[in-house]
Structure 1
Amino acid sequence: MSILGFEFRRYLGSLWVWVLSLIGLLLMFMAFYPVLAADAAVLDLFLRHYPEELLKVFGVGGELSLATVAGFLAFSFVVVQLCLAVQSAYYGFSFLSVEERELTADFLYAKPVSRLRVLTEKYLAAGGALLVTNAAVWIGTFLSIAWFGGDAPYDVRAVISLLLTVPIFQLFFFSLGFLATALSK
């Protein structure tokens, strides 16, 4: 059995929980969109009293309004990004420490493969798991827009540009978790 296959199977249990949870979270948030879009004028009036900086943090302001599909998605995507950060950092933290925790580090390093190959295959398995999560976020986003966006037009480029940040975001937090584990040893 290859190290890559073994490591990827190790991620599968938590991966399915993350995938289903993120899709459910996206669907839950977008289920609120039709209600908010119906009162768009009241919502925009309400948001005018918020500081500009706070609106930028949540991805609202400027061209985007919570009354639009892209604006509401940008607002709710902050919570999805928080979940992605937790998942990516967890995978980064457990990247090296799982062998020590399960007492398999000596066995793994005694195999007739180089340490570089072991780390590369473990990294590819973690990257594959994060890629599956990324694909699930894309599917969940467009599925939730299709189900709850109604006939409201939306800027597909804005949604895609938001989704293109996900792999960079995941890699950043995975690297932070990995770095924290590597420096603590």
Structure 2
Amino acid sequence: MTIATVTFNLLMTNYFGAFLPSIPIDSLFSTQGIMVMLLVAYAGAMWMFLSSAPKVYTIMVSDLKVAQQFYEGLLDLPTADVPLQYYYNYEQTLGAGAIDPLYMSTTATNPSLGASDGLWYQLKKNTQLHVISGASLGTKSRQRHVCFDHDCLEEVLLRIQARRLRYKIRRDKPLNFLVKDYDDRVIEMAEVSN
């Protein structure tokens, strides 16, 4: 070997040895070493993708048209794009087994509907609201909006208070309150406790 080759190998071993002291340089660039580096890079990319994805709250409503008038007209929520993680359908099975039949609609839903169906709103900077149909009407034919997350309903209640709409809190835990829209329809906002 020439002196230049030996010097280069020593420099590379010392350079990588500072970061990976127990791994020889030959095994780092072997097929197995390259596969491990690719898996680490993939895991890092997935972590960055999922950590930057917006938090999504889902609310089931009894009538999407009334809900659209409520969230766009009264609460002035801007519409949002469907988050990328919903294209991969990884959050669709969360909480499905804990739905109380009292809050579910008796009408059949279309199983061919995708995750992007419904209404999408920007609630906060990195928080979105997904409004879907599926809730039953409440007592006295009230529009019912059902949510599984307490923080979601608190955010909606803060928006209602900021817009100075008439509301009445019926229960704190689980959160349940009534709000009137401009057409004097009473909308019941209910948290489903798991």
Same fold (TM over 0.5): no
Higher strand share: 2
- Which TM-score tier does this pair reach, normalised by the shorter chain? under 0.3
Higher helix share: 1
TM-score (norm 2): 0.25
TM-score (norm 1): 0.26
Q: Report which of the two structures shows the higher radius of gyration computed on alpha carbons.
A: 2
